[in-house]
Amino acid sequence: MKMTPQWPTMFGSGKFEIGGLVEHIFTNYDLHDLDAEVDGCNIFDDDSDVMQLFKELVYNQFNSYLKETINKEITDWNNHEMKGWITGHGKDYSMTIHNHSGAHLSAVFYVMAEDQKSGGDIVFSDPRSNANRGYDEEFEPMFQRFKHTPQTGDYMIFPSFTYHHVNPYYSKLRICIPVDLYLYKG
């Protein structure tokens, strides 16, 4: 029998490095008061040189993803918006399953992540709505999850509709910058 995979979900990944980014974050953001200062702000409002370099890198990675997946560029839309925020959490942190509703593409940039023994995998669920409805274990290969154990300098780009969660990790501190891209035709 011929087997044909359907409903592909493309993930982009790679490495990045922006000199001075970690120092800038520690100097300008209070990672101990994330709810008040960091999680709710758009870091692209920070007009420092280092954040502008980071913004350009993010824009270019989103653009590359669009070119590879749908043969379009960000400039094919009349307007776009990128929103990014810093998450910095300590030992035993995890995040429940969620997606980035309303955005078109999402990414996470791992500014500081300890070794792979620290846990904290990001786990993406099969995006088909019934694929995770409680089938017996034997069916698990049909309803795959994609797991990535991040290291410092990794990034992942994915469609914003993709549900994902973060397993607990055991390092002292992890700093990530999640980013959402919104594209507007009108």
Q: What is the pLDDT of residues 77-113, one digit of tens each?
A: 999 999 999 887 777 778 888 899 999 999 999 999 8
Q: What is the pLDDT of residues 117-147, one digit of tens each?
A: 677 889 888 777 666 566 666 766 666 678 8
| Strand spans (E) along the chain | 12-15, 79-84, 87-90, 95-98, 105-112, 122-124, 146-148, 154-159, 164-166, 173-184
What structural domains and CATH numbers belong to the chain? 12-184 (2.60.120.620)
Give the pLDDT score at 171. 74
Q: What is the pTM of this model?
A: 0.88
Q: What is the pLDDT of residues 56-67, one digit of tens each?
A: 999 999 999 999
